[in-house]
């Protein structure tokens, strides 16, 4: 397996900023990659799960569950919150999505290879989320953590602060 080159991407967890979504070609590419990812893991990316991921990507890759529920309701009528949460739970399990606790939101993972932990840099003012793909930094935190809190295995490291624009 080849490891994808580290890169970062900025996402936004605005409440009604659906305009920041990706171009159609890039959206299709991300969804096709998600399909291949699930197929390889023998996981069922059902039409609904795929659609929730699509809506998340259309919102710029980061959104709150109730915004996705609104989007889905606009397309299909009444949608129970559990429908959204179950779909997000599946996407989390498949590592296609990360939970952003600092914003109470969900961010689409922009990396194709599997990774056990993620580092998310979150702007507390504007809600920008950047997935920081820095393997050595992540491993260094893990290693130091073993000295301070032995046995602890973080799944996500969130770094909260202010982005350049908000400072
Ligand atoms: Zn990720
Ligand atoms: Zn900001």
The rounded Å distance from CA 147 to ligand 1 centre is 25
Instruction: Kindly give the distance from the C-alpha atom of residue 4 to the centroid of ligand 2, in angstroms, as a whole number.
Output: 27
The pLDDT, as a whole number, for residue 134 is 87
DSSP state of 18: G
User: Residue 40 in contact with residue 115, Cβ under 8 Å?
Assistant: no
**Ligand 1 centre distance from Cα of residue 81 (Å):** 24
- Cα torsion 99, 12, 28, 75 to 10°: value is 80
Ion ligand 1: residues, Cβ under 5 Å: 109, 111, 118
What is residue 117's predicted lDDT score, i.e. its pLDDT?
78
Q: What pLDDT sits at residue 114?
A: 64
pLDDT of residue 110: 84
Query: Residue 132 CA: which ligand is closest?
Result: 1
Cα 166 to averaged position of ligand 2 atoms, centre (Å) = 4
Task: Compute the distance from residue 107 Cα to the ligand 1 centre, in Å.
Answer: 8
Residue in 111, 112, 118 with CA at minimum distance from that of residue 159: 118
Q: Can you tell me the distance from the alpha carbon of 16 to that of 164, in angstroms, rounded to the nearest whole number?
A: 22
Using the mean position of ligand 1's atoms as its centre, give its distance from the Cα of residue 109 in Å. Answer: 4
Which one of the ligands is nearest to 103 CA? 2
Identify which of 91, 87, 62 has the alpha carbon closest to the alpha carbon of residue 72. Answer: 87
Digits of tens for pLDDT over the chain (167 positions)?
444 444 556 666 654 444 467 888 899 999 999 999 999 999 999 999 999 999 999 999 999 999 999 999 999 999 999 999 999 999 999 999 999 999 999 999 987 666 777 899 999 999 999 999 888 888 899 889 999 999 988 888 999 999 999 99
Question: According to the model, what pLDDT value does residue 25 have?
Answer: 87
| Closest listed residue to residue 28, CA positions, set 6, 54, 5 | 54
Ligand nearest to the CA of 128: 2
């Amino acid at each position: 397996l080849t490891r994808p080159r580290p890169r970062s991407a900025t996402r936004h967890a605005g409440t009604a900023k659906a305009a920041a979504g990706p171009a159609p070609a890039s959206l299709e590419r991300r969804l096709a990659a998600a399909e291949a990812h699930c197929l390889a893991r023998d996981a069922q990316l059902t039409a609904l799960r795929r659609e929730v991921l699509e809506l998340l990507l259309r919102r710029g890759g980061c959104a709150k569950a109730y915004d996705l529920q609104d989007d889905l309701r606009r397309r299909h009528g009444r949608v129970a919150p559990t429908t959204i949460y179950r779909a997000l739970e599946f996407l989390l399990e498949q590592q296609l999505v990360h939970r952003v606790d600092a914003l109470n939101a969900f961010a689409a993972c922009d990396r194709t290879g599997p990774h056990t932990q993620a580092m998310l840099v979150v702007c507390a003012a504007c809600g920008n989320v950047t997935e920081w793909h820095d393997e050595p930094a992540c491993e260094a935190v893990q290693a130091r953590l073993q000295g301070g809190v032995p046995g602890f295995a973080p799944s996500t490291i969130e770094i909260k602060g202010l982005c350049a624009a908000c400072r």
